[in-house]
Amino acid sequence: MSRKSAFSAGLFILGAYILVALLSSVITPYSPTALVGRPLDGPSDTHLLGTNDLGQDIFSRLLYGTRATLIIGLLGALLSVLVSTLVGTVSAYYGGGVDEVITRSVDVLMTLPSFPLLLVLTIFFAPSIFVISGLMGVLGGTQGIRIIRSQVLSLVEANFVYGAKAIGAGDLRIMTRHILPNVLPLATVKFVFAAQRYMLMGVGLGFLGLGDPSVVDWGQMISRAYYNGGFALGLWWWLIPPGIAVTLLSVALALLGYGLEEEIDPRLKRSVAI
């Protein structure tokens, strides 16, 4: 598959997910938390994917779950990219003592295993999806600082940055007009892959029962199906749909990232050099 079609396919699927998330309250036949039928019903006209052990409509829960997962993934990734780009750029641009302090702190933070740390912190703070994505963003952001920093480090030495300095451009202008636009493609790719990772982590937290109890998410759904007999009784409509939803979204983000990678280097687009 070409990078272009990978990008389009990824974007299309992600777009569909976002649409579902936005419209879930309109297109779902039932409230996701209401008890609307007999427990453990199979798929039927009234309940497309049947009901769970409490008699909640699985189809409605599936659509609503898109919201939590997307928010955790996208918001977490956005925060993490903001943190890493901001800190990484400042650190590399100014160098010296500022850089030293930041680099050492990142080195220390990098030694901490992030998922267990996230678990502990989530339990410590109240687990709402915004707290979770915030924690993911800050923790994940520190991992990205190094990558952005090394990219900016090479840009700071680039002739065009010296040239900008020579015409009298200030630090802020150099950073925003000359450095950031050249970091942005890398940051975008990082964002997409981070979104994929955080979404899966979010589902993982939900599965472990550490997700936000006030919202519906796919992790909780899978865990509920797994522990309350869905797996043992072979009730596929209960277990499989959230799994497929997670996998497809993850694939979409992977395709998007792969398609975007070309953007990192505009020279990749150049035709054969003679």
Partner 1 sequence: MSILAINDLKVQFPTPEGLVKAVNSVDLELEEGERLGMIGETGSGKTVLGLAVVRLLSGAEVEGNIEYRGKKLLLLDEAEMRKLRGREISVIFQSPNSLNPVLKVGDQIAESIRLVGCSNRQDAKKKAVQAMEAVGMPDAELWADRYPHQFSGGMKERAMIALGLACDPRLIIADEPTKGLDANIKAQVVELIRDVTTDKSLLFITHDLSAAAQICDRIAVMYCGEIVEVGRTEEIFANPLHPYTEGLFRSLPIMGMKAIRGASPSLIDIPSGCRFHPRCDRPCENCAKAHPPLVEAESSPGHLMRCFQHDRG
Partner 2 sequence: MIEVEGLTRHFFSGRLGKERVEAVDEVSFNIKRGETLGLVGGSGCGKTTLGRLLLRLIEPTSGRIIFDGVDILHLKRREMRRLRPRMQMIFQDPDTSLNPRMASLESISEPLKLKGGLTRAEIEDEVSRLMEKVGLSPEHLGRRPHQLSGGQNQRVVLARVLASNPEFIVADEPLSALDVSVQAQIFGLLSEMKRDRNITFLFISHDLNIVRLMSDRVAVMDRGKIVEVGPTEEIFRHPLHPRTRELVSSASMDGQLTLMLKEGLISTVTRRPRPRMGGVCDDNPMDSKSSRLMINAGCR
Which of residues 107 and 209 has its CB atom nearest to partner 2 in the complex?
A: 107
Which of residues 116 and 270 has its CB atom nearest to partner 1 in the complex?
A: 270
- Under the binding rule (CB under 8 A), the answer on residue 170 touching partner 2 is yes
- Residue 166's binding partner, choosing from partner 2, partner 1, none, with beta-carbon cut-off 5 to 8 A by kind? partner 2
Which of residues 53 and 263 has its CB atom nearest to partner 1 in the complex?
A: 263
- Under the binding rule (CB under 8 A), the answer on residue 178 touching partner 2 is yes
- Under the binding rule (CB under 8 A), the answer on residue 164 touching partner 2 is yes
- Residue 158's binding partner, choosing from partner 2, partner 1, none, with beta-carbon cut-off 5 to 8 A by kind? partner 2
- Residue 78's binding partner, choosing from partner 1, partner 2, none, with beta-carbon cut-off 5 to 8 A by kind? none
- Under the binding rule (CB under 8 A), the answer on residue 108 touching partner 2 is no
- Under the binding rule (CB under 8 A), the answer on residue 267 touching partner 2 is yes
Please give, one letter per residue, the 3-state secondary structure of the chain. CCHHHHHHHHHHHHHHHHHHHHHHHHHCCCCCCCCCCCCCCCCCCCCCCCECCCCCEHHHHHHHHHHHHHHHHHHHHHHHHHHHHHHHHHHHHHCHHHHHHHHHHHHHHHHCCHHHHHHHHHHHCCCCHHHHHHHHHHHHHHHHHHHHHHHHHHHHCCHHHHHHHHCCCCHHHHHHHHHHHHHHHHHHHHHHHHHHHHHHHHHHHHHCCCCCCCCCCHHHHHHHHHHCCCCCCCCHHHHHHHHHHHHHHHHHHHHHHHHHHHHHCHHHHCCCCC
> Nearest 5°: phi and psi at 51?
-130, 165
- Residue 125's binding partner, choosing from partner 2, partner 1, none, with beta-carbon cut-off 5 to 8 A by kind? none
Stretch that binds partner 1, among 75-83, 151-159, 160-168, 266-274 (CB under 8 A): 266-274
- Residue 274's binding partner, choosing from partner 1, partner 2, none, with beta-carbon cut-off 5 to 8 A by kind? partner 1
Q: Which two tokens stand for residue 177?
A: 């007009």
Binding mask 58-97 for partner 2 (x = CB under 8 A): ----------------------------------------
**Judged by CB under 8 A, which of 34, 160, 208, 227 binds partner 2?**
160
Q: Which two tokens stand for residue 264?
A: 């990192």
Q: Which residues bind partner 2 (CB under 8 A)?
A: 158-160, 162-170, 173, 177-178, 181-182, 266-267, 269-270
